[in-house]
Amino acid sequence: MSDSQARETPKCISCGIHVAGTSAASFKCPDCGHQIHRCAKCRKQSNLYECPDCGFTGP
Ligand SMILES: [Zn+2]
Ligand SMILES: [Zn+2]
């Protein structure tokens, strides 16, 4: 079976909500370069994030 949904929906790394169309921050994991998104709320609260790829945690 072929999955035609190539475009992944950006989700907040901390709370998991969909961040498409919001003022979410997106950056790359400093360790492995994995694309990470964080919603404005979690950014404001300075929630820690954990890279799903390498397990790197940061502010
Ligand atoms: Zn969030
Ligand atoms: Zn990483």
Q: Which pLDDT score is estimated for 40?
A: 93
- Beta-carbon neighbours within 5 Å of ion ligand 2: 29, 31-32, 34, 51, 53-54, 56
Q: How far does the centroid of ligand 2 lie from the alpha carbon of residue 47, in Å?
A: 16
17-45 pLDDT per residue, tens: 999 889 999 999 999 999 999 999 999 99
**3 state SS for the chain:** CCCCCCCCCCEECCCCCECCCCCCEEEECCCCCCEEEECHHHHHCCCCEECCCCCCEEC
Residue 12: pLDDT band with limits 50, 70, 90: very high
- Amino acid occupying residue 22: T
| CB contact burial 6-24 (16+ within 10 A = b; e otherwise) | eeeebbbbbeeeebeeeeb
Percentage of the chain lying above the pLDDT 70 cut? 88
- Amino acid occupying residue 4: S
Reply yes or no on whether the pLDDT at 6 is more than 60. Answer: no
Q: How far does the centroid of ligand 2 lie from the alpha carbon of residue 3, in Å?
A: 25
Q: How far does the centroid of ligand 1 lie from the alpha carbon of residue 24, in Å?
A: 8
